[in-house]
Amino acid sequence: MTPFEKHFIQVGVIGRPKGTKGLLRFHSYLNDDRDVNQFKKFYLDNEKTINLKLVSFDKKSPLITIDEINNRTDIEKFVNKKIFLKKEQLSPVKGNEYYFHDLEGLEVFDNKDQRVGEVASVVNFGAGDLLEIYFIKSKKKEFFRFTEQNFPFVNIKEKKIIIKN
């Protein structure tokens, strides 16, 4: 993990311009596209600060402006740029809620407290969150639904998660 990845999290990608007034499509990874307006500063991968503002929606995606740029020529340089937030800008989680980036890299233990693997990634294809577990013994990765039944114990501070056998 690079120093940049330790402190920042990707929250979206800039899409193609729409019209001539400096509007861009935004492919957001935030829970709600409207959350864009809750944050003051966003970052490009070179840590340059930019200001995004959600101004409307079209059929394909939310439409944003960047740094009050209001013409197509100047705005086109942002197309396909990844957009980040500092992790400390994110709201604290409640109860047994977790950010994906907090789960990735957790050591996986069985219910006999034997280390069996590591959380390789977390994905959601629309039907619920899945943890991709890399198993040490088989050297294979498998997906599991992230439920309390399958993972009865999660401790982010200890970087530990228990998988039910």
CATH number of the structural domain spanning residue 132? 2.30.30.240
On whether residue 106 sits in a domain, the answer given is yes
| pLDDT for res 97 | 82
Q: Is residue 95 domain-resident?
A: no
Domain end among 62, 88, 114: 88
Half-sphere exposure of 89 (CA within 13 A, CB side): 18
Could you tell me the residue range of the domain that residue 112 belongs to? 100-162
Q: What is the pLDDT of residues 124-145, one digit of tens each?
A: 887 889 999 999 999 999 999 9
Q: What is the pLDDT of residues 148-162, one digit of tens each?
A: 999 999 999 999 999
How many residues are recorded in the chain? 165
Regarding beta strands 107-109 and 160-162, do their DSSP bridges make them parallel or antiparallel, or are they unpaired? parallel
As a whole number, mean pLDDT of residues 98-110 equals 91
The CA distance from 117 to 97, in Å, is 22
